């Protein structure tokens, strides 16, 4: 009788703990949902504004390709006004915001001197287009598609070095690499750490000096190209394999999911305890006396 009393008492305690855990879980999830509701609405507003900015930048780029300067100027004015009312908190770094602002200024300046530099307007518009897209599509931004282009540029320089081409050829090949990099730089700045951009900037500056030398140092150039490939891989996120494991749930619901999994374990243990108690009452498990 005494053992039966303690078994029943233990079962009641475990059952009470499971009920208490479920109550805390429900309260936690409810409180989190109420707390996140305002943040969700604000985030939705920010995302909507960024998407509109991206659409404006896309239209501006198309107008630049069509040489519709009036629409380009109207578009850049709308983008400038929209930028003043967008909160970038949690969207990018200070350096990313600065890179986007500089690109907008560059388009404005190119639109003024378009008669003498039509190509400059198209390049500046492309930079703005990629930067806005980088904000709007953080998971799959368009600028990542430049990976093969930049790698081909590096390979072209490497081939020129191995074939001992003249300085003019090396300078020309480097200029193409620099042009492509400058096109994606603001977009990359929005999504990458500042030090990654700084490293590649420094590499480009040093490589430019080597390719422009009257007597290029072949050994040093080959070493720099190898370093450049590593930096480019890092910039485009190609230096590491994707993790084979991902969280059960990503985002703000991860905590609730963890509590849910824990509660399932507690419930299973409670049920197992109950089954053991029933088995003992029915003589399935021998008692130790």
Examine the domain organization and report whether 128 and 161 are in the same domain. Answer: no
Where does a domain end: 138, 157, 172?
Answer: 138
As a whole number of angstroms, the distance between CA 145 and CA 227 comes to: 21
Question: Is residue 235 assigned to a domain?
Answer: yes
Residue 282 has pLDDT above 80, yes or no: no
pLDDT tens, position by position, 177-189: 999 999 999 999 9
Identify the pLDDT of residue 119: 87
In this structure, the answer to whether residues 145 and 130 fall within a common structural domain is no
Local structure of 2: helix, strand or coil: helix
* Residues 129, 145 share a domain: no
Q: How many domains does the chain have?
A: 3
In order of 8, 27, 112, 216, 223, the CA distances from 212 in angstroms are 87, 68, 32, 7, 16
**Does 30 reside within a domain?**
no
Least confident segment among 139-143, 233-237, 267-271: 267-271
pLDDT given for residue 22 in this prediction: 56
Inside any domain, residue 25: no
- Residue written as tokens 């378009």? 114
- pLDDT tens for 42-62 read 778 888 889 999 999 999 999
Contact 235, 200 (CB under 8 A): yes
Dmax over Cα atoms in the chain, in whole Å? 101
The whole-angstrom separation of Cα 232 and Cα 137 is 21
Q: How far is CA 200 from CA 1, 70, 135, 170, in A?
A: 79, 36, 21, 19
Tally the residues of the chain.
289
Distance CA 262, CA 270 (A): 12
Q: Which helix (H) or strand (E) holds 20?
A: helix 2-65
**Phi, then psi, of 164 in degrees rounded to 5:** 55, 45
Q: With the CA atoms of 123, 213, 150 and 244 taken in that order, what torsion angle do they form, in degrees rounded to the nearest 10?
A: -140
Q: What is the CA radius of gyration of the chain?
A: 30
Three-class SS state of 197: helix
**Percent of the chain predicted with pLDDT > 90:** 54
Confidence at 248, pLDDT banded by 50, 70, 90: very low
Residue 15 lies in a domain: no
Q: What is the mean pLDDT of residues 17-38?
A: 54
pLDDT computed for residue 29 by the predictor: 52
Q: 205-223, pLDDT tens digit by residue? A: 999 999 999 888 999 999 9
Pick from 172, 154, 174: nearest CA to 235: 154
pLDDT band at 86 (very low <50, low <70, confident <90, very high): confident
The pLDDT score that the predictor gives to residue 54 is 95
Task: Give CA–CA dist 169/212, Å, rounded.
Answer: 10
The answer to whether residue 125 is domain-embedded is yes
Between CA 38 and CA 44 the distance in angstroms is 10
2/162: higher pLDDT:
162
Distances (CA, A) of 236 to 68, 87, 103, 140, 185: 33, 26, 21, 11, 11
| Model confidence at 152: pLDDT above 90 | yes
- Region of 140 on the Ramachandran plot (φ > 0 left; ψ -120 to 50 alpha; else beta): beta
Average pLDDT, the chain: 79
Return the number of other C-beta atoms located less than 10 Å from residue 242's C-beta. Answer: 7
Domain that holds residue 48: 39-138
Mean pLDDT of 31-38: 53
pLDDT in tens, 110-148: 998 877 567 899 999 999 999 999 999 999 999 999 999
pTM of the predicted protein model: 0.69
Domain shared by 43 and 132, yes or no: yes
Q: Which of 86, 104, 138 is the last residue of a domain?
A: 138
Task: Among 138, 162, 191, give the residue marking a domain's end.
Answer: 138
Going through 101-238 in order, the beta strands assigned E by DSSP cover none
């Amino acid at each position: 009788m005494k053992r039966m009393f303690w078994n029943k008492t233990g079962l009641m305690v475990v059952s009470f703990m499971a009920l208490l855990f479920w109550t805390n879980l429900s309260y936690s999830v409810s409180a989190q949902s109420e707390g996140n509701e305002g943040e969700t609405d604000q985030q939705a507003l920010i995302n909507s504004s960024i998407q509109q900015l991206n659409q404006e930048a896309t239209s501006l780029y198309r107008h630049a390709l069509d040489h519709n300067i009036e629409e380009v100027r109207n578009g850049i004015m709308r983008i400038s006004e929209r930028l003043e009312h967008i909160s970038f908190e949690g969207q990018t770094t200070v350096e990313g915001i600065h890179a986007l602002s500089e690109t907008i200024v560059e388009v404005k300046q190119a639109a003024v001197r378009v008669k003498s530099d039509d190509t400059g307007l198209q390049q500046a518009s492309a930079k703005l287009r990629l930067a806005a897209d980088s904000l709007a599509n953080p998971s799959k931004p368009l600028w990542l598609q430049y990976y093969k282009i930049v790698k081909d540029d590096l390979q072209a320089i490497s081939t020129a070095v191995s074939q001992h081409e003249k300085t003019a050829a090396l300078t020309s090949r480097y200029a193409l690499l620099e042009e492509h990099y400058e096109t994606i730089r603001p977009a990359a700045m929005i999504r990458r750490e500042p030090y990654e951009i700084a490293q590649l900037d420094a590499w480009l500056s040093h490589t430019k000096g080597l390719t422009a030398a009257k007597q290029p140092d072949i050994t040093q150039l080959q070493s720099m190209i190898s370093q450049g490939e590593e930096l480019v891989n890092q910039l485009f996120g190609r230096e590491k394999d994707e993790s084979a494991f991902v969280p059960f749930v990503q985002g703000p619901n991860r905590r609730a999911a963890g509590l849910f999994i824990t509660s399932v374990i507690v419930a299973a243990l409670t049920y197992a305890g109950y089954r053991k108690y029933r088995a003992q009452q029915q003589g399935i498990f021998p008692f130790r006396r």
